[in-house]
Structure 1
Amino acid sequence: MSVVHGTEPEDTCQRWDKKLKQYVTVSRPSIVREYNLKMGGVDLIDRMISYYRMSARTKKWTMRMLMHFTDLALANSWLLYRKDLAICASPKKSIMQFLEFRTEMATTLLAQHHGQGSDADLSEQSEEEDNSNQGKKRPVTAVPMSRSAGGRMPISQR
């Protein structure tokens, strides 16, 4: 639905008529022409998102929306990146593929997050974490498989 475009001005286009088995000229409203022009971009973005969709099993709609819009932003960013490099006449081999672009973005964001605190703060935090986790660690013991288990993994006992 849109109020930006109306039915006027109408133009004509060619459409295939199955009964006549030939192209016929039909009139079409302005809004239909605009819809057809922009629809290819929506299909492209949907396809790009489907290749490497963030997935987490959650019922929270807020997390699903956040992941979807992050995927959408990454796909749009990659398409703009490709368009910019094409305008600059960069060689095609220098243009990153979509997966490589996503990985590079994640690496950059993680590096920025890691570099926020100073080195002294990070070393103090890691020492505190080591001290707090010392009492919580339990030794791992192997549980032998009994013949009565019938080839199934035994249930660990605490």
Structure 2
Amino acid sequence: MYFGRHGCKQHIHGKPIRFGFKAWVAATRLGYCIQADLYEGRSEVRETGLGEHVVTKLTQAVQNVYPDCAFSVFCDNFFTSPSLLSSLQTKNVKITGTVRQNRVDKCPLLDVKSFKKKARGFYDYRFDQNDSICAVRWNDNNVVTLLSNEFGVQPIQKAKRYSAAVKRRIEIDQPNVVAQYNRFMGGVDRLDANIGVYRIAIRGKKWYTSLLTWLIDVTVNNSALMARSHGANIDTLEFRRSIARTLLLKYGTARVHPGVPLKVTSNVPLSVRRHAANHMIMVSQTRRRCAFCKNKTVKMCRSCGVNLHDKCFEKFHA
């Protein structure tokens, strides 16, 4: 975590963590991070809106790695617009997402005020044959509008909702595009949830500390998902523990307790330490580490020229 000031830190009111660095992320349904791009502010020249620019940039980066694959992208109302669906239609990318009411380009759907008077499950849709875009407005607990160039209204699904009038759960009509969106959306939220369970809790005074720890968390999350996809029956906590054990066995060293070192390290020759005369403890001008127990002291041996505690003097010369 980093609580200092930086020009790239953002403020998003209403978020659980309002201040911090923002990253645009493309993730799978289960939270596997495919592509990420740190937001640096208005640093790039763009001809479209920010949401459309971000989706285009992330999909282009993924298509550079997998040029022959077709992709289905699900995004929320910050990114979705008719121009985004039209521009990516030619690049073999299908888009499905919720859209804000002022971004439907005057699509003649029934207005929201009239929609709220309809029964739950009522829907209205329009289809643009030129760009193969389906616009659907559906009345659930609230009125929601979606755009898609991959899914349409048919086949009509059934969704269970609680009815206060009859005091039981009932089934209402649900367009297919809504059902598909509910199934595949939320991959970035799933990624954040996976990371948040066992996040690296390190606070630093350097701005890049939080970015490095976040990248490590994302890497561990991806590795755990990949291990489970190959048949490993292991949860995230045990996976992190296995990583820690492997690193300690390979790079770790035995813990040295203060005052009881495993090995005395000193540049003083053994002949001087054990056989030379004039060993006398005295007070030094500089506080240094003891040559035997490694704790700091101002006492030193006049003959050996190293700092030593009174209790370490005899042991060092034995």
Relative to the length of structure 1, the TM-score reads 0.50
Relative to the length of structure 2, the TM-score reads 0.28
CA radius of gyration, larger in: 2
Higher strand share: 2
Q: Using CA pairs under 8 Å that are at least 6 residues apart, name the structure with larger relative contact order, 1 or 2.
A: 2
Higher helix share: 1
